[in-house]
Amino acid sequence: MRLLNDTLEKIKEPDYSLIKAVQRKLDNLTKPKGSLGRLEEIAKQIVVITGNLKPKLKNKVIFVMAGDHGVAEEGVSAYPKEVTYQMVYNFIKGGAAINVLANFVGARIVLVDMGIAVDLKTHPKLIIKKIGYGTKNIAKEPAMSKKEAIASIEAGIEVFESEYNKGMDIVGLGEMGIANTTASSAIASAITGESIEDIAGRGTGVDDKGLSKKIEVIKKALKVNNPLAGDGLDVLAKVGGFEIGGLVGVILSASAKKIPIVIDGFITTAAALIAYTIKPQVKEFMIASHCSKEKGHKLMLKYLGLIPLLDFDMRLGEGTGAALGISISEASIKILTEMATFSEAKVSKASIEKSTIDKN
């Protein structure tokens, strides 16, 4: 618990004193004022997060946390739980979508076994932080003990801090775990107060019958465990997952280090909800990459007050949306730091814009 508490103490509000300076710089670039919309907003956010008027996003890291879920035995997924470890081996071999997109944006993947139900072969591309061999079935009992919940978060913090020393300018979040949309739906409903019917989606692609069953399982899990909405640790322990706990640790640690965090889809946003419940200031360090096709993701983002960059009907997870979000974030910083100002380019400003800028 000491590592978690120490990390929480280091999380402070970002420094907003640079807002005027970065706005002035953006307004003096060779373009109509505000014409690059969200790109300008993201650039300002990253400057505020990092406390640097000329940030560089050279070192990009995507943390992919993996873990199994006992609730898979309820038949809530279209795939068997063996797919969790099989996909992890696929990540190691470089054959998954996240590998392709991470390579595309120049990000390195940090792959972590947080609680896969089998022992995996040791490999240089895999970090073992196994808290247990999958969580327990939340339809019958708590997913894990409070001690295990804390251990999962602290494991995420440890992984982050180890990787931080190798260089890190922006973080993406990803995951793998069969049935983790069921756990994430329970987390989302518990924290936001939204109904299961409005939150739960098809996950890996269950049919109408499967979705109805999934909804009933989640309702049962919430009734059996009664997680406390305002207590992130309680929610994680009762209906969460080991990989979700690991992601919470990454979010907390990145916030403490003033690193921008690009969240992915439904599961990583569930981790963001828990982190936010534990330490509300972490929201200021988050960038929502996209709105998942998962039904409740929009409601989760709304609760956090985050506006997604993309809406591509994606629902894969793995960090695929985060990779694209990192690419857009890097583009925003390149606009800020590489684009010429009016004076540098010897381009005349519009008279209205010039007078406004001069007054500021």
Tell me how crowded residue 284 is: count the other CB atoms within 10 A of its CB.
17
CA geometry: angle at 337 spanning 336 and 342, to 5°? Answer: 75
Q: What is the pLDDT along the chain (360 residues), one digit of tens a residue?
A: 999 999 999 999 998 999 999 999 999 999 999 999 999 999 999 999 999 999 999 999 999 999 999 999 999 999 999 999 999 999 999 999 999 999 999 999 999 999 999 999 999 999 999 999 999 999 999 999 999 999 999 999 999 999 999 999 999 999 999 999 999 999 999 999 999 999 999 998 899 999 999 999 999 999 999 999 999 999 999 999 999 999 999 999 999 999 999 999 999 999 999 999 999 999 999 999 999 999 999 999 999 999 999 999 999 999 999 999 999 999 999 999 999 999 999 999 875 455 555 555
CA geometry: angle at 270 spanning 259 and 107, to 5°? Answer: 40
Tell me how crowded residue 354 is: count the other CB atoms within 10 A of its CB.
13
Structural domains of the chain ordered from first start? 2-54+335-359 (1.10.1610.10), 60-331 (3.40.50.10210)
* pTM as predicted: 0.96
Quick check: is 318 catalytic?
A: yes
Give CA–CA dist 186/236, Å, rounded: 10
Which sign does the torsion angle of CA 47, 302, 290, 162 carry? positive
Cα 83 to chain centroid distance, Å, stands at: 22
For residue 29, count CB atoms less than 10 angstroms from its CB and return exposed for 0-12, middle for 13-18, buried for 19 or more: buried
Determine contact, residues 125/92, Cβ cutoff 8 Å: yes
- From the candidates 154, 243, 294, 318, which is the catalytic residue? 318
Determine contact, residues 289/310, Cβ cutoff 8 Å: yes
